[in-house]
Structure 1
Amino acid sequence: MTHDLITPCADGLVGGTVGAADVARLGTVLGVWAHPDDEAYLSGALLAALAAVDRPAVCVTATRGEAADPDAGARARAALAAVRTRELEDALAILGVSDHHWLDLPDGGCAEVDAAGPVARIRAVLDQVQPDTVLTFGPDGVTGHPDHRAVSRWVDLALDQAGGDVRLLHPVETPATAQRDRELDEDFGVYELGRPRIVTPEEVVVHLVPDDALLDRKVAALHAQASQTSGLIDAVGIERFRRWVSVEVFAAPAR
């Protein structure tokens, strides 16, 4: 089975949408992420596309995102964790994901956690789900966040232990998509800790430019996580925000 869901164009841009047959070739998909909203930002349109063709998708979230405000005390963090838990449940329902697992690890502290515990739990989900495709951060963590990078390491270790033929895909950029809205990236410090890997068009496995219906669902899932997204949406406007999140690109790990 080929791993190329779309034949990349020479300039790295693919117009239109991924067809149902293309999405179905991903098989059962497991996404492993660090915080609520990672799944929607990085793969929301793809998850919605999978749901539209009745392909199973499962998500794992390592933390409940309680440390989004680094100055918050214990009570405020607990309250935010509860909010983000409800928000993620709503977002996953919008995207058509009904199978979700929490690892309940400390937000902002994943890099300090003994890897054996989360690796064993991810391995258990792998054994249960038997995915054909796993989506997670590359070693760069997309934004360089230490929690993201820790999750990437855990998934690698869990897959090594599990063995088998599983397609692993990381969110990446092409030279073209990396220029999509650099001003927004810089104004809001999106990549102040690091940037995602930039790949050639030939390395791209999935390059999804969603149609309006899929993009509506992705944006709705992000809007549902208002504690994290409403400030940005209000600041830049919904149309600019839609354009900013309107492409999803995945590639196999760098060799």
Structure 2
Amino acid sequence: MILCARRASGHPAHTGVLYSDPVTLTAPPRLLLVHAHPDDETLTTGGTIARYAAHGVHVTVVTCTLGEEGEVIPEGLQGLAVDHADQLGGYRVGELRSACAALGVADHRFLGGMGRWRDSGMAGVDANKHPRALVAGDPEEQVASLEAVVREVRPQVVVTYGPDGGYGHPDHVRAHEITAEAVRRVGGVDRFFHTVASRAATNTGVGALRDVPGLPYRLPEPDELPVVDDGVITTAVDVSGHLPAKLSALRAHATQVSVWQDGSGVASYALSNGIAQPVLGHEYYVLADGDPTGVEQDLFGGLFGGREADAQGAR
């Protein structure tokens, strides 16, 4: 058994041991990710999920809404959209289940239960005022629901978006707010990360697509994709060995994502806007809270007395 002292603040006294509660060396590390809609878990963190899950990390994903307001790409499924049958949310539950299976997610939850909160749509639209819209809901109820999950799962690492939600979507912003508050209330989380996109890596990836023949999407204009300056990035997780799983999960979200690969293995995807996005070999994070020692390439780096999360999870 290993015991770890906790400071009164709730943050760990950095003794190089695993967790405050008695655990065995073979207990898997625990990673909790909070996302706004089905497909967000794959788009921004799919490679990370697949990497850690493959090495035995217990991965929990919380999705805040069913994504009811999403635009639908396949012509044959247009009738699901909010301005038709308004059945998209239920359909996306199935897509999410398939994506989680592809990524190896051990534990998936909907915030407050399936259907409790509805996709709010983009800022300033009527959907923001729906009585079940996430942004119209009681933040206290939402925080309490997530707090219960954090207390149950006891993750060492929690991931969600930054304060701007990554690109300003109201549900992403609310997901950040409730996650930050739940983590603060519970305490005992060793690290809290924001998922971000690297400007340099995105530009390089887009550049590599310029000369690819047959790309069915238009290339983005400069700074059209949401990115951050690389100087703020603390962690680059190598997911190159898990891109097949990420691509499978992207394909599972067929109402929202179109995936293209050529014969040489070059891959790209696009959302309903038809803008090409590169499939990168790393996913990027900003450490918002916790000890930065060892985080450069591993969300769990340095938390296990010198062993990386991959090795710990594979024991």
TM-score normalized by the length of structure 1: 0.77
- Residue 244 (str. 1) matches residue 278 (str. 2): yes
Change (3 A) 1:160 1:82: same
Task: Say which SS state the counterpart of residue 227 (structure 1) adopts.
Answer: coil
| Distance across 1 between alignment mates of 2:82 and 2:237 | 40
| Distance across 1 between alignment mates of 2:59 and 2:29 | 9
Change (3 A) 1:93 1:157: same
- Residue 200 (str. 1) matches residue 231 (str. 2): yes
Contact 1:178 1:198 in 2 (8 A): no
Cα distance per residue 1:36-85 (max 9 Å; x no partner):
010011111111111211110000000011111499447622x2112100
Q: How many residues align?
A: 223
Task: Say which SS state the counterpart of residue 288 (structure 2) adopts.
Answer: coil
Contact 2:143 2:182 in 1 (8 A): yes
| Aligned residue number for residue 12 of structure 1 | none
| Aligned residue number for residue 52 of structure 1 | 54
**Equivalent position to 2:148, from 124, 148, 153:** 124
| Aligned residue number for residue 229 of structure 1 | 257
- 1:175 shift after superposition: 3.9
| Distance across 2 between alignment mates of 1:88 and 1:190 | 27
Change (3 A) 1:56 1:73: closer
Contact 1:134 1:167 in 2 (8 A): yes
Change (3 A) 1:190 1:218: farther
| Aligned residue number for residue 16 of structure 1 | none
| Distance across 1 between alignment mates of 2:167 and 2:146 | 22
| Aligned residue number for residue 181 of structure 1 | 206
Aligned structure 1 segments of 4 or more residues deviating by more than 6 angstroms = none
Task: Say which SS state the counterpart of residue 170 (structure 1) adopts.
Answer: strand
- Residue 111 (str. 1) matches residue 144 (str. 2): no
Letter in 1 for 2:242: L
| Distance across 1 between alignment mates of 2:182 and 2:134 | 16
- Pair member with larger Rg: 2
More relative contact order, 1 or 2 (CA 8 Å, 6+ apart): 1
Contact 1:41 1:245 in 2 (8 A): no
| Aligned residue number for residue 253 of structure 1 | 288
Letter in 2 for 1:200: G
Question: CA RMSD, aligned part only?
Answer: 3.1
| Distance across 2 between alignment mates of 1:250 and 1:224 | 24
- Identity, % of aligned pairs? 32
